[in-house]
Amino acid sequence: MTGVLVPLPEPSPHEAVTFAHNAERQLAKLLDFYRVRWEYEPQTFVLEWDDAGNPTMGFTPDFYLPAYDLFIEITTLSQKLVTKKNAKVRRLRELHPEITVRILYQRDYVNLLEKYGLEEPEQWRAS
């Protein structure tokens, strides 16, 4: 059926997950509100291996949105500290060009908080 909203199961999906960071919880809450199905850290991608073929570096995006075939990584670190995360995303794209991944930066996250009134920015900056 198109255009019919199906009630969310109780509790809302974001309430059933223990997130590593409050920013992840807030994004999940927003996705739940708009009934966008998501998975939390569903897959780790190996990015580097040692000479014996053992994984030495991996990347686990925060969210996967199955309806959009999209991985999302949230970073609320200051922009100068995201270099390592950007490098991992670039490496993932090199190894798996068929995978779509987007980084949600601090400025994007703050804009979401303010636009949707999820939480005052000072609350998460202090923690």
User: Distance between alpha carbon 64 and the CA centroid of its chain, in Å?
Assistant: 7
Domain ranges of the chain: 36-126
The residue whose two tokens read 């995360």 is: 85
What is the per-residue pLDDT for 1? 47
pLDDT at 8 over 80: no
What is the per-residue pLDDT for 51? 95
- H or E element at residue 81: none
Vertex 44 angle, CA 28 and 17, to 5°: 30
User: Distance between alpha carbon 118 and the CA centroid of its chain, in Å?
Assistant: 17
What is the per-residue pLDDT for 125? 46
From CA 25, how far away is CA 102, in angstroms rounded?
17
Q: pLDDT, tens digit, for every residue of 43-101?
A: 999 999 999 999 999 999 999 999 999 999 998 776 666 888 899 999 999 999 999 99
58: its two tokens:
């991996």
From CA 8, how far away is CA 28, in angstroms rounded?
13
pLDDT band of residue 127 (cuts 50, 70, 90) is very low
